[in-house]
Amino acid sequence: MSKYLDKGVLGAVWLSLIVLVLVPLVFIVPAGLGLTDGNFLAPVVKFLNDERLPAVLRNTFLLATCVTIVSCILGVLFALAVERTSMRFAWLAHQMIMVPILVSPLVGAVAWVTLARPSTGFINVAWRTLTGSRDPLFSIYSFAGIALVISLHVAPYVYINVRNALQNIDGAMEEAAAILGSHTLTTWFRITIPLAMPAILSSALLVFVLTLETFSVVGLLGGPAGFVTLPFSIYLAINLPPGDWNYAAFEGLLLITITGLLMILYWKVIGASGQYAAIGGKGFRLVSKVGGKVQGMLVVVVWSYAVIAVVLPVAALLLQSFLGFTTSRFDNMIFTLANWQRLLDAPAFRLAFANTMIVGAVAATIAVVIGLFVSHFSIFERMRSLEWLAGLPLAYPGIVLGMAFIFTYNGTFIYGTLAILILAYVTQFLPFTTRALSAPVMQLDKGMDEAGKILGAYTMRRVMRITAPIVRSAVFSAWLIAFTRGIRELNVSIFLYTPATIVMPVLIWNYMEQGTFSQAAALSLLQLFAMLFLVAIAERLGRRFESV
């Protein structure tokens, strides 16, 4: 009997991946090609005749390119500062650099509007007061502003990848150069950075794709800037009358094709960097670290980032959350607790909080379980196609996935329930949980699983009683990665929520749209604190898990 159960488990994993990953795409294609309303290829024709097309495509790629360059430079500098200098408080710097990853870019954009709107942003007011200038220092409603906010948010991804690479590079290689009389910077440029290049390249691709997909920041700042990218154009196609879903679907198909091709490239680079990593052994820590002027400059860069990306936005949100109405003139300011009171009293807030926790936790759990079985089958049974399938949603822009879920499930019984949000979240989490789990499972001695097999244990028992408990700290951190993503998920939820299934990020978006900025700021802060709290717990538990 158990033999059939075994086939059932495999079948269930295949089925869940097909339903979660492939089915939504299948439904968006006919819409995008105009088959659903009988106007075959009408969206394509409309697209090709769209005069805005060149500008939209140019904006999309220009933004992604600039963000990639800026965030890669920042990420590499951070990694060098933390890993290759003897800077003080490196642990704190690390924590600060990681904070923006936890915050949704939307929250960052909200904060930066307060900080750098041309006339009344705090930074510009300070600039005018100090210099007597009539012009603002910097406008957030501009290409530069949008690029800045996104760069600040994605730089940590580059940092974490490059830092990993630096940790894995055999310090002896750099020491050898130093002994030969190479200057620090020369060593970095000739040895360290080239060795980390696969990591830099793969993060550059990842960041490029993430930026291509970004909707929320462009949606908030791009209007006044007159700056439209492909995802924002999708949003506008749906939200400007006459709402044209098929046109949006076609633009979505185009976007997903671009990101899909880039992700294939990304996986190729990752594969190559995997071979590269073998050069350096693990655990070779560089004993002699760099000091002096180079360190001084890097320290300035890191702490400036901490101030610009973390301290200032949090301060701005805090201030905004206590303001009676928006103003940057201190003599005009009226402070009140009303925003917080209204937020905490609002039934929508309590509902959104509960929904966010439920959807996040359930979806994270499902995604971890599927990820675990996918890793098991892909590594122990050599079914690599499962892992590939589970990684596919990495190429799905959130806004396209949301649209695809609408096309797929609108009118079915799960529409308007938490279940549809859970399904969409699981799809989004799958690449992350699978990757977080397949790495430790790969390192696992295959005999662990085979011993169970020979003793008579079938898949279910081997995964739940052997693999999962052994890699439990990875299971836990995969769950947490997914859960924290769930807390800040906007792109898909904005399409799928109903009043009963509203979640916190949607509530922030709605508050912004309805002009209740102070409540949006308060809720953003709550979201941020919830994240920090969770991560702190995770680090504690994580350490305990590892010590066992």
- What are the backbone dihedrals phi and psi of residue 414, each rounded to the nearest 5 degrees, phi first? -85, -10
Q: Does 304 bind another protein (CB under 8 A)?
A: no
Q: Does 513 bind another protein (CB under 8 A)?
A: yes
| Six token digits for residue 449 | 């699983």
From 215, 276, 349, 517, residue interacting with another protein (rule: CB under 8 A): 517
Q: Does 1 bind another protein (CB under 8 A)?
A: no
From 406, 437, 441, 531, residue interacting with another protein (rule: CB under 8 A): 406
CB of 116 to another protein, least distance (A): 11
Cβ proximity to another protein: between 92 and 354 the closer is 354
Token look-up 């938490």 returns 418
CB of 324 to another protein, least distance (A): 4
Q: Does 515 bind another protein (CB under 8 A)?
A: yes
Cβ proximity to another protein: between 2 and 304 the closer is 2
Q: Cα 428 to chain center, whole Å?
A: 10
Q: Does 271 bind another protein (CB under 8 A)?
A: no
Size of the site for another protein (CB under 8 A): 70
Cβ proximity to another protein: between 289 and 472 the closer is 472
Beta pairing partners, 290:
85
- What are the backbone dihedrals phi and psi of residue 85, each rounded to the nearest 5 degrees, phi first? -125, 165
CA separation for the pair 448, 211 (Å, rounded): 41
Q: Does 473 bind another protein (CB under 8 A)?
A: no
Stretch that binds another protein, among 145-153, 169-177, 198-206, 445-453 (CB under 8 A): 445-453
Binding residues among 48-107 for another protein as defined by CB under 8 A:
51-52, 55
Name, in order, each residue with C-beta under 8 angstroms of 14's C-beta and a sequence gap of 6 or more.
386
Q: Does 329 bind another protein (CB under 8 A)?
A: yes
Q: Does 358 bind another protein (CB under 8 A)?
A: no
Determine contact, residues 116/326, Cβ cutoff 8 Å. no
Q: Does 325 bind another protein (CB under 8 A)?
A: yes
| Six token digits for residue 472 | 């439990």
From 313, 440, 452, 486, residue interacting with another protein (rule: CB under 8 A): 452
What ranges in 85-142 are assigned the alpha helix state H?
Answer: 90-102, 105-116, 122-131
Q: Does 450 bind another protein (CB under 8 A)?
A: yes
Hey, how many other C-beta atoms are within 10 angstroms of the C-beta on 262?
Answer: 17
| Six token digits for residue 153 | 């948010």
Q: Does 455 bind another protein (CB under 8 A)?
A: yes
Token look-up 């059932």 returns 8
**Residue from 157, 147, 213 nearest 402 by CA:** 213
Q: Does 330 bind another protein (CB under 8 A)?
A: no
Q: Does 525 bind another protein (CB under 8 A)?
A: no
Instruction: Determine if the peptide bond prior to 242 is cis (ω within 30°).
Output: yes
Q: Does 514 bind another protein (CB under 8 A)?
A: yes
CA separation for the pair 319, 525 (Å, rounded): 11
From 9, 472, 532, 542, residue interacting with another protein (rule: CB under 8 A): 472
| Cα dist from 488 to 77, 231, 232, 351, whole Å | 27, 18, 19, 16
Q: Does 412 bind another protein (CB under 8 A)?
A: yes
From 48, 54, 285, 413, residue interacting with another protein (rule: CB under 8 A): 413
Q: Does 117 bind another protein (CB under 8 A)?
A: yes
Q: Does 145 bind another protein (CB under 8 A)?
A: no
CA angle, 174 then 74 then 116, to 5°:
165
Cβ proximity to another protein: between 86 and 119 the closer is 119
The secondary structure of 259-294, three-state, reads: HHHHHHHHHHHHHHHHHHHCCCCCCCCCCCCECHHH
| Cα dist from 66 to 144, 207, 208, whole Å | 9, 11, 9
Cβ proximity to another protein: between 299 and 448 the closer is 448
CB of 150 to another protein, least distance (A): 18
Cβ proximity to another protein: between 450 and 539 the closer is 450
Hey, how many other C-beta atoms are within 10 angstroms of the C-beta on 162?
Answer: 27
CA separation for the pair 403, 401 (Å, rounded): 5
Q: Does 283 bind another protein (CB under 8 A)?
A: no
Q: Does 498 bind another protein (CB under 8 A)?
A: yes
Q: Does 416 bind another protein (CB under 8 A)?
A: yes
Q: Does 30 bind another protein (CB under 8 A)?
A: no
Q: Does 391 bind another protein (CB under 8 A)?
A: no
- What are the backbone dihedrals phi and psi of residue 534, each rounded to the nearest 5 degrees, phi first? -60, -45
Q: Does 288 bind another protein (CB under 8 A)?
A: no
Stretch that binds another protein, among 217-225, 297-305, 387-395, 523-531 (CB under 8 A): 217-225
**Residue from 174, 171, 176, 112 nearest 144 by CA:** 112
Name, in order, each residue with C-beta under 8 angstroms of 360's C-beta and a sequence gap of 6 or more.
425, 482, 483, 486, 487, 489
Cβ proximity to another protein: between 246 and 273 the closer is 246
| Six token digits for residue 332 | 């005009």
Q: Does 123 bind another protein (CB under 8 A)?
A: no
Stretch that binds another protein, among 82-90, 190-198, 218-226, 397-405 (CB under 8 A): 218-226
**Residue from 338, 342, 344 nearest 323 by CA:** 338
**Residue from 91, 92, 108 nearest 100 by CA:** 108
Amino acid making up residue 308? I
Q: Does 182 bind another protein (CB under 8 A)?
A: no
219-248 footprint of another protein as x/- string (CB under 8 A): x---xx-xxx-------x-xxxxxx-x---
Q: Does 218 bind another protein (CB under 8 A)?
A: no
* Residues of this chain that bind another protein (CB under 8 A): 2-3, 6, 51-52, 55, 117-120, 141, 219, 223-224, 226-228, 236, 238-243, 245, 324-329, 332, 334, 346, 348, 406, 410-413, 415-416, 445, 447-448, 450-458, 461, 465-466, 469-470, 472, 498-500, 510, 512-517
